[in-house]
Amino acid sequence: MKSSQANLSNEFQHVHKLLNQYQTMQHRMFGPSGDPHRGQGRVLSILKLKPEISQKELSYLLDIRNQSLGELLTKLEKNGLIIRIPSDEDRRSMNISLTEKGAKQAEQIEKKHDDFSQIFDSLSEENQQKLHEILKQLTTELEDQLGNEKNDDKNNEKGNGEKSRHKNEDSSHQR
């Protein structure tokens, strides 16, 4: 029994290492705006869904401080991916829009994310569902071992608003 657990642990660590290598490769290819779940990529992904949005609303959706968002937006603006336009209703408020270059980048991010999902094509629908259930069990066990408060505090410090990743993704994995 211990031998099979050791094999599972080794295989899991190998998959983790490969995923990290994949992320590093993607970061080199697409830069800091290449991840639709983090930083600049997350902003671009939201703007792709809602082409014009107030900075206040964007800050709320991303669950990050306005100052942190301002830094992200400055970087995106310097790269020509977004523009900030004073609001018609309130000149003190800024609306954020994608530029043509930003829209193309957001499209590339989405395509790249879809490409990554293709690794699951090697599994049947049934095996994908089994893997999903197993990963949920492992996530729950790890969260229990770490203590939910520690996990919640860590997520809140990151400002990503994700209390429990697998709970939020349940509906998206059931295809």
- How is domain 28-121 classified at the architecture level of CATH? Orthogonal Bundle (1.10)
Tell me the pLDDT tens digit for each residue of 95-138: 999 999 999 888 887 777 656 677 888 899 999 999 999 999 99
pLDDT in tens, 153-167: 444 444 444 434 444
Q: For residue 40, which of 101, 126, 90 has the smallest C-alpha distance? A: 101
Pair 41, 99: CB distance under 8 Å: no
- Residue extent(s) of CATH 1.10.10.10 domains in the chain: 28-121
Q: What is the DSSP string of 80-145?
A: TSEEEEE-SS-TTSEEEEE-HHHHHHHHHHHHHHHHHHGGGGGS-HHHHHHHHHHHHHHHHHHHHH
